[in-house]
């Protein structure tokens, strides 16, 4: 079975349907984080997984996910 990996830096670079797409949103996430901090959103909790975020929310119901 052969596999092909195509790297697209923007959505416009996608060339049709795929079986699997993996999205790494580092730049946009970083921009969002900086903007939130700049506008006074503190504390800011970053979570590595959805499950960890939900655990944090269960421990502190006032958190906004």
Most distant pair of Cα atoms in the chain: their distance: 51
The per-residue pLDDT for 19 is 65
The per-residue pLDDT for 51 is 93
Whether residue 15 contacts residue 6, with contact meaning beta carbons closer than 8 Å, is answered with yes
Whether residue 63 contacts residue 45, with contact meaning beta carbons closer than 8 Å, is answered with yes
The per-residue pLDDT for 33 is 85
Whether residue 39 contacts residue 33, with contact meaning beta carbons closer than 8 Å, is answered with no
Among 41, 48, 33, smallest CA distance to 64 is for: 41
User: Residue 1: pLDDT band by 50, 70, 90 thresholds?
Assistant: confident
pLDDT digits (tens, 9 = 90+) for 4-51: 888 888 878 877 777 677 777 777 888 888 888 899 887 888 888 899
The per-residue pLDDT for 58 is 93
pTM, two decimal places:
0.47
Rounded distance between C-alpha atoms, residue 2 and residue 6, angstroms: 13
Tokens 């999205």, residue located = 23
């Amino acid at each position: 079975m052969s596999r092909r990996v195509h790297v697209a830096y923007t959505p416009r670079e996608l060339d049709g349907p795929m079986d699997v797409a993996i999205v790494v949103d580092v730049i946009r996430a970083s921009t969002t984080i900086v903007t939130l901090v700049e506008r006074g959103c503190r504390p800011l909790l970053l979570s590595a997984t959805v499950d960890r975020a939900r655990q944090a929310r269960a421990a502190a119901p006032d958190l906004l996910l």
